[in-house]
Structure 1
Amino acid sequence: MLPWGHLAFGYLLVSALVRVVPDWEMDRTTVLLVLLGTQFPDLVDKPLAWTFHVLPSGRSLAHSLFALVAVCALVGYYYRRRGRPDLGVAFTVGYGSHLIGDGYGYLLSGEYTYLSSLGWPLLPPPPFGDEGTFLTHIPEFAFTPGLLAQVTLLAILYVVWIEDGAPGRELFDR
């Protein structure tokens, strides 16, 4: 899944949650934490694997369930202490939705070996081969049904974001 697909999927999940949980609100901070949570695994793993060659794969450390639990526990603890547990949940849902977005296709197709990142380092990284660098992935960008689905999800996100009152819009009004 591409970055905007991760963002749309995570935002829509958090927006739905905010609508059903009393006293939770979709504000600028919530949107920023959803944005950070949905991108966090790639912001950690891709540079460390593709640029610095410290990790074995662009889906290893931060794509692991161990990292998900540890990072989300820390973020959740921080926001619970500040009286905003909803912000920890927003980050956690964003982070978790990223892992779901990366793995659902492999799960549905039965290609479970590509889900091994969820158990890294106890399991080997997914067998993607030489993942190259960021520039290596640019030519792989193609108009596929999956891309169309992500763009559609992004359009739905925009409508829902407007319906939510466009939280965080003031960041762009400068």
Structure 2
Amino acid sequence: MLPWTHAAFGYLLLLAVVLLLGRRFSRAELLAVLVGTQLADVIDKPLAWWFDVVPSGRSLGHSLLFVVPLCAVVVAITWYRRHPEVGVAFGVGYLTHLVGDTYAAIYAWRTEEFTFLLWPILPPYPYDDFVGFADFFDGFEVTTPGLVVFTAAAVVGVAFLVQFIRAPWLDTARS
């Protein structure tokens, strides 16, 4: 998945959970889910592609051995600060990132591609040979499915921004 589709997926899942619980959500929760959806790649891509510190763009930040303790610490900190919902939103965003990176392998049940989830116990799946952003844009092709996904992510992104910036129903003052 690309960054905007990770963000859209995490945001939509948080929105569904909040609506099912019949409550409102705060700007802090919106920000937390957005950060959560991006953090795995923010950690792994530079460490693998630019600094050669980890073996893959899906290793440390994508490993459940890192993610679960990180989410637990974030929830503990936000619980202590009396806003555990913000920590939960972060966890929702982070976990949707992992699901987004594995959904095709789950669908086809290609279990060998799940190894990055237990890095460094298991080796990361060798999926990327990325060198830089120029490589991405050089190989980028505009396709109908790609345009549909980009358009859907853009619509969700606009909805997110509207809610974040000026939506009157956001829970800005806790009662």
Q: TM exceeds 0.5?
A: yes
Superposed displacement of residue 128, structure 1: 2.0
Matches within 5 A, 1:1-174: 1-21=1-21, 24-128=23-127, 130-144=129-143, 145-146=145-146, 148-156=148-156, 158-159=158-159, 161=160, 166-169=163-166
Structure 1: gaps (5+ residues): none
Which shifted more, 108-117 or 84-93?
Answer: 108-117
Q: Deviations over 1:128-156 (max 9, x none)?
A: 25332333222232234255235314424
Mapped contact 1:31–1:168 kept (Cα < 8 A): no
Mapped contact 2:57–2:128 kept (Cα < 8 A): no
Two-structure CA RMSD over aligned residues (Å): 2.1
Q: Deviations over 1:104-123 (max 9, x none)?
A: 01121232222211111111
In 1, distance between residues paired with 2:151 and 2:116? 26
In 1, distance between residues paired with 2:150 and 2:106? 18
Mapped contact 1:37–1:92 kept (Cα < 8 A): yes
Letter in 1 for 2:45: K
Superposed displacement of residue 9, structure 1: 0.3
Which shifted more, 55-64 or 101-110?
Answer: 101-110
Mapped contact 2:59–2:116 kept (Cα < 8 A): yes
Letter in 2 for 1:81: Y
CA 1:5–1:61 in 2, change beyond 3 Å: closer, same or farther?
same
In 1, distance between residues paired with 2:6 and 2:133? 18
Same amino acid, percent of matched pairs: 43
Which shifted more, 131-140 or 44-53?
Answer: 131-140
Which shifted more, 82-91 or 139-148?
Answer: 139-148
CA 1:27–1:109 in 2, change beyond 3 Å: closer, same or farther?
same
Following superposition, which runs of at least 4 residues in structure 1 exceed 6 angstroms of deviation? none
Q: Normalization by structure 2: what TM-score?
A: 0.85
CA 1:129–1:92 in 2, change beyond 3 Å: closer, same or farther?
closer
In 1, distance between residues paired with 2:103 and 2:136? 21
